[in-house]
Chain A
């Protein structure tokens, strides 16, 4: 069975600095997708960034980028120029190709200090 592991329950970063959130996953599949979702306190979850496993190039979305290491089954999220609004719980998620089921990690709570 596929699993997603986030080994950092909590992280903190100073405003304007850079932070990296870790994620590892376990799968025997070769075709899949990876995602990072953000869940602010008491607010709905939103998609931050996505990565197709067949693409070697790391995805970027403005201040958010990933480091996708397929052989190591690692998918970290880098947030540059951190802002107070980035404070939230971040979830790494995996989905096998041609299925709808998204498997989430346990989450990492990010605190941004002014």
Chain B
């Protein structure tokens, strides 16, 4: 098991373009999370899945953001009509779910720059 994998590592896009990121979690983890982190700040929750079901989505997330986890395996995060304010590190994490104090395993993130 190679941990949580995120692709691409870096993405530079022009304002107004759509971008899609991929996250491959640890295979036996049934929960998957997306966070956004700007420089020098703590990660900000975006959404999370249990298997293929999206259980919660941040109210801070505009309609331009959508996430999927088909078949409960990998997940994609799409941002439509990107804006400069979308520039950030997008972190994916996964965890098992046993109803206890499970910690997340994070990926290395995808750094998005909108120019």
Contacts and interface: CB of A to CB of B under 8 A. Distances in A.
A107 B109 contact: no
Contacts of B33: 100, 102
A107 B75 CA distance: 27
Given A33-B101, A45-B91, A104 B107 contact: no
Nearest to A4: B42
Interface residues of B, number: 26
Contacts of A45: 43, 91, 93, 104, 106
B48 A101 contact: yes
Interface string B81-99: 0000000000101010101
B111 to A, nearest CB: 10
Interface stretch (A14-22, A46-54, A62-70, A79-87): A46-54
Contact of B99 (A91, A98, A103): A98
Contacts of B103: 35, 47, 50
B55 A44 contact: no
A97 to B, nearest CB: 8
Name which of A4, A44, A46, A99 has the most chain B CB atoms within 10 A of its CB. Answer: A44
Given A52-B101, A100-B33, A107-B40, A44 B45 contact: no
B56 A106 contact: no
6 contacts: A45-B93, A52-B101, A93-B42, A100-B56, A102-B33, A107-B40
Interface of B: 31, 33, 40-45, 48, 50, 55-56, 91, 93, 95, 97, 99-101, 103-109
Instruction: Please provide the 7 A-B residue pairs with the shortest distance between their CB atoms, ordered closest to farther.
Output: A104-B42, A47-B103, A33-B101, A45-B106, A100-B48, A44-B108, A50-B101
